[in-house]
Structure 1
């Protein structure tokens, strides 16, 4: 049972070994527990328990056996490809979102993270009001379903990914205030914001906004946090691997605190969170191997400092 008066710290479990290897997932969760993690975020697409938006009963049973053997809270990251502004494939997108909610409920995961809608910049310029309105309507229906299943949807602020940098995609959720406005418009208890602090730093550099002002305005809706560091510099050079991204300090670094430039102390001072919020550390696998203990200690300190001077 989740303690509503406690802020949880832990890790995602996206990198546990070969995709679908539930024995490797079992070992990773045990490793996270040994590190003192209180929460583990599962990656829906790494489990091989859903095909064609349908749960696979035999695989699901094996997964539940693994998960139930550990004393840890679970959350779930839905497929990043879920896009509620993809009008050409909206029925499929909704089926995938619903399957993610059902998967979470079967895993006893109480939060499902989704990425907000994104479209081509020309489509956004022509139709942004209608796109926002239709996403609100879809989100409201999904939040109703989530509420029935006993889970919450956490809508995550976007990072400037390769498509955004290339000018072929955009999202209102690069801006934290716009994300807050969309969540407020839906106004559903099963819908909260996921603040990805690394993504927020990237948005700050790309769009030039006041990060702490934006965080303060998103704060009333924050019920989930993704925790890692970055410089915020966009990936506008040619690069081939994550080692090069770290070396140059560009893009979605998912690095330990101190490897980038985020002022976590100031961010914590500007932030309040909803009861039961989980702070989920997202590190590249190489960073996890050398900096997991340091990072979870930093996340605990961040959790303890949230809202202390407000």
Structure 2
């Protein structure tokens, strides 16, 4: 196995608690590394695991995990864990996994997951919809679609995401979250291949020539992926089409680095908005 064989490579760093008396990673910890990378694989598929399994009416159970140890990782090593789906059976999903330190293959694994009834644990046919998503991902296809539209089109789904993120998680009062601008804004909505809404944002005119992006929200299981960036890029692309020369936004301080990576620059000093630290950020188009 080589690094280029895997579309998903999850970075990990060896912790002190994971090494044994020989000064190397204890063999059992590699199963934890693989399980951590499998969680990243579901995020890469844009499939929130628990909600997806509930939707499909089953769950995945490990049937087999065989590991070959070819080298040893040590404390503080930076590792990359590769995951790929090799093939499907009637109810099974066969997965290859590999642990790399740089280009060196340390561990390779062959795993089999079985789709089954979550209570009786009796095998069921793996749904075609899940097969299609996995095949598409492994073929290099996008697993997300971002659509733009009015509040009348996207309001129910976008509103549910914003309620969960801003009101439930961040404790922002509902009367501060909803405003009349929603009715005139352009809204972006990211959905996965199952049509599940995962992220949203909106755009309106700030002053002539300048667009303002706001209400950017990504559901918790999907954070750390590129979904938020895809929503942001879609809104900026539309602003460019509409002839705006600049876009600005009020970024929560915890998200400042996200916007810096997207080419935004801080303008002015931090301030509070809805009890949360923000900073104004701008980017030319």
TM-score range, shorter chain: under 0.3
Q: Taking structure 2 as the reference length, what is the TM-score of the superposition?
A: 0.23
TM-score for both structures, normalised by structure 1: 0.22
Point out the structure with max Rg over C-alpha: 2
Which has the larger share of helix? 1
Task: Give 1 or 2: higher strand fraction.
Answer: 2
